[in-house]
Every structure is written in C-alpha cells, then in structure tokens.
Amino acid sequence: MVDKVLMQEAYNCYRFLIEHSNFKENSNGYGLTLDRTNNKVKATIAGSGFMLSALVIGAVNGWDDSELNRKRALSTIKNFYDNIPNFYGMFAHYLDYSTGKRYQKCEYSTIDTMLLVNGMLVADSYFSCPDISKYVDKIFSRIDWNKFIFKYNNRYMIRMAYNDIRGGDYLRRISKGWVFQWSMMAEQLSMYLLAAASPAVSPKRSQELFLGFERTVGGYRNYQFVYTPLGALFVHQYSHAWFDFRQYYDFVGYDWFNNSVQATLANYAYCQDRKRDFLTFAAGLWGLSSCDGPRGYSGYGAPPFTTYERINEFSERTDGTVAVYAILSSLPFCPELVKSTADTMTKNHPELSGSYGFYDSINLDANWISKDYLSIDKGISLLMIDNYYCGTNWHYYMKHRLIKNAIEKLAFIRKEEFNVDN
C-alpha cells in the first residue's frame, strides 16, 4: 500500500512541475518553473532543472508522450541559451515567469545553475536529440569556470554567486560583486563533477576544488558524518538526486552515500529524542530542513551545528516544524523508515495532502500546515522517489559523456573495484 502512496506522490510531483512551468510557445519565459504557488511571477532556475529531469521520468513512466516532452526539453534548453540572463555562463537565480527577465535584485547563482545543468544533462542523455545536445554543449561551454574559481584560505574554491546590483540579494546595502564561497559541506557536491567535466579545468585543479571545502566530522548519538553547520537535511540529498554515489567512493576513499545515510538517521534520532518537547515529533514525524514554518521560511536543522568557521552560532534550529520533502527524499537512504513515516502521514494526517500530493511542511505544536507547494521541494521528492523505485534520473545522468569524463578526472573509485583490490 505505501509503495502505491509514494509512487502516486511521484506522479503528483510530476504534475505540479509540468503544470507550473511556462510551455507557452514563443514566450521568452519558455521552460521557466514557478518558485512556489503563492507567487505567479517568480520563477526559479533550480525548479527548471528539476522539471527537465521530470520530463524524462514522465516519458519513461508514460505519464506524457515522449515526443511531447522532447519538444518541451529542447525549447526550454534553447530558450535558456537564447534569452535567459547570465554572467560568464552562470544564470540569474530568479526570473520573471513570463518574460524571462531577471527577478528584482537576484544574484547570478552557481549552485542553481548547476541544478539546472544537471537536469539538462538528463534530458540530453535520454532523448538523444542532436538539437538538444547542441544547445547543452553551447550552454556548458559558455560557463567560464575559471572566473568563479579563486584561492581562499590557501584552498581553491568556487564562488557562490555574483550580484552587480548594489544592495542586491545576499549583499550589504551599498555593496556589489562576489557573494561568499563554497567553503563548507553543503549541497554542492555535483558542482565539482560539472567543473571537472569542463576541459577548461585540469584534473589537478578539479581535485583541488573537490578537497577545498571544510570537512568537519561529527554527528548525533552514534551517527557520524561530514556535516553542515545549518543541520538541514536537503544538503545531503540534492547532489544525490543526480549522481549515484552508491557506486563510488571519492578519490580519497570516502563514501558520500553512507554519509547521507548517517545524516538521515541522526536527523531522525534527534527528533525522536525531542518527543517530549514537540508534538510533531511525538506523532512520529521528523525531517528538519529548510522549509516554510509558522513564521515564514526558515532554515530548520538538527545538530551538530559548530564548525571552525561557525563556533557555537546555533544551539537549536527547530520549533517543531518538519519538511515533508526531507522525509520523502530520504527514501534511497533509509527506505523502511521513510515508508513507515509516509504511512503515518497518510493514515493520521490526511489534511497534509492536497491537489498535488503532500504539502510542504507541518507543525502540530502550532496547529499549522503549509498549504503551499515549492517547485524545488516537489522536484527533489520526485527525483528521489523515482530513483529508489526505478533509478531513472541516476541512470541517464551517470551515462552522460560529461559525467563519465568528470568521474575519470576526479579519479573516483568504483566500490566493486575498491573491494576487489583491497
């Protein structure tokens, strides 16, 4: 029964992404996906990345005609090349849904561009369309990686973003320019694969970048992992939606798939230990991650929070709100736990479901449920549910020529080879 619930949720997520993407012919916003349902103007390029992968999942599952989805993918990718604002190949994070113009004072984002490109590679791999390949190559080759790579604390890192608007997003009121850097563990693992895939980045520099971010190991109870000081679960999910880390250790022998397993179990254990403090956790719900809460969008998380860069910045990052997508997207890591929780949500909280499946988040202590849908949350839920049952996204991403090249340049070790040799 719960397997049917989860596959139905995948279909609902697919419908949301398709029905909230701009497929209007000759529109400069073609292929843009709304950020969330309560804003009909603001689109996010990350949402379009999830949507492009969804087009493949929809074709494979027969939810839409394959030729229809190929045309949607081609028109989306071509429009991004022709009309969407970019800075040295990195796209603006948010856009006007209809016009494709930059939304307000948003930044040019490296991570959101990578999520978009990840979806493009899946579409390119599956549809085997020369025109799609042509525009994917144009977009990928236009990215000037060396413009975004710099040395910070004697390590090579990639910038987070650039904003040329004074006082724009992520900037102080009168400043403009570069925005932060990927200096610690977060959702950026697949970014290093895409950088390595570029002929402009040498194998040596690719590996220096991969080792450039801080790897602080800690955990909760007996669950040890490389963690983020924000404690949000999504950082352990995003890159795994595309790259199949089950198959590989990195070139120093670290298992990033198991890292996410441990992070998921720690997140669950922390919620279990706080049952007396929060009704949400007492009801068997868990999944602390960035999501809507009773007081707006918040970066919820589970400990540990301290790193060398952020010593004792947080003592607690929960008010009893859990992100439903964080639960569902943990399916490949902890399937039985996720299935049990999905069964609980279905039986005990029918009010948590709407026209596109599960809503974004819930807080029983505040008697509150988010009635909104976010494209990145429905997107990660779709990809991880489908990866668990079908492996669609994993299969077509891993077979792409650029990802094969990246694996070789980063010297990742196939687990079966590692086990045989050792």
pLDDT in tens, 329-357: 999 999 999 999 999 999 999 999 999 99
Q: DSSP secondary-structure letter at 162? A: E
Q: At what angle do helices 189-197 and 203-210 cross, to 10 degrees?
A: 170
DSSP one-letter string for 193-251:
HHHHHSTTS-HHHHHHHHT-SB--EEEETTEEEE--TT--GGGGTTGGGTS-TTSEE-T
- Note the pLDDT of residue 171: 86
DSSP character at residue 304: -
Asked whether 359 and 36 are in contact (CB, 8 A), the reply is no
Total number of residues shown for the chain: 422
CA 25, CA 68: separation in Å to the nearest integer?
13
Q: How many CA atoms lie within 13 A of 56 on its CB side?
A: 30
| Residue ranges in the chain modelled with pLDDT below 70 | 174, 307-314, 417-422
pTM for the whole structure? 0.96
- Domains of the chain are 2-421 (1.50.10.140)
**What pLDDT was estimated at residue 418?**
57
- Please give the Cα distance from 343 to 2 (Å, whole number): 6
Separation between Cα atoms, residue 103 and residue 94, nearest integer Å = 5
Q: Is residue 231 within 8 Å of 303, Cβ to Cβ?
A: yes
Query: In the prediction, which pLDDT does 421 show?
Result: 45
